[in-house]
Amino acid sequence: MASRSAREVAYETIRSRIITMDLKPGDELNDRELAQELGISRTPMREALIMLNIAHMVVIKPQSGTHVAPIDLKLMEMEQFARFTLEKEILNRIRGRLTAEQEAAYRLNLESYRQLERDPDAENRETRMLDLDNAFHRRAFQLCGMEEHFDHMLSTFQHIERLRKFSLQTEENKSVCAAHTRILEAVLRGSEEDLSRALSDHLNRYKLSVEQARQHHPEYFTEGTVRPVDHRI
């Protein structure tokens, strides 16, 4: 497999730092400093920032510089609807078909999450909780032999992933285990309607996280899509 280009490394590194809120909305991005930090030239860094601008994660304004884009609520809604539509289809493919071993793996995931909930001082707690959350949702795709679909879906989401970082710092994170349990019970014994409702209720709770996050950082959000600047390389 060919090694990743400097541009790809820069893109993935900056994207990850934006999603994890290491780089926050409004933070200035200096291509020279970032290039030096990653040990690459400025050209691939500038190309990576242009790619991030197209993905609505970075705002490039002539004379004003480059900054981390605010969380776009409209794009967030679109991302979450796309996720609900795809994940509902995948969950229905395994509904009523889990083996005892597969159910046990789901329940181990839930218990691991609960343990982290009870231990606010656990090392790398937020990252581990996000990983367990993703693992829960990815499992159905794995059982269908379609885990690449989940990975691709997650890699294309920009705005909802940043919000998930906020939700772990609010009371909303305490709803995750109960919501996952309802989804699992619907997969085990529920109807298609039960499953749709459980998944919808879970994925739509992001709106409560938005409300809480905006109380503390209203400047982090925008109501509509920001059109990328046309920068030609």
Each residue's pLDDT tens digit, 87-106: 999 999 999 999 999 999 99
Q: 3-state DSSP: the chain helix, strand, coil percent, rounded to 5?
A: 70, 5, 25
Distance CA 12, CA 182 (A): 34
Query: 197 versus 224: which is more confidently predicted?
Result: 197
Reported confidence tier of residue 2, pLDDT bands at 50, 70, 90: very low
d(CA 186, CA 193): 9
Let me know: does 222 contact 71? Beta carbons within 8 Å.
yes
Contact 69, 225 (CB under 8 A): no
Output the CA torsion sign for 117, 82, 98, 190: positive
Question: 227 or 37: which carries more pLDDT confidence?
Answer: 37
Instruction: Kindly state the tokens that stand for 74.
Output: 């409209």
Q: 69 in helix, strand or coil? A: coil
Cβ pair 113, 132 in contact under 8 A? yes
Question: 164-211: per-residue pLDDT in tens?
Answer: 777 776 655 678 999 999 999 999 999 999 999 999 999 998 888 888
Only one residue has tokens 């992001």, namely 206
What structural domains does the chain harbor? 6-69 (1.10.10.10), 72-216 (1.20.120)
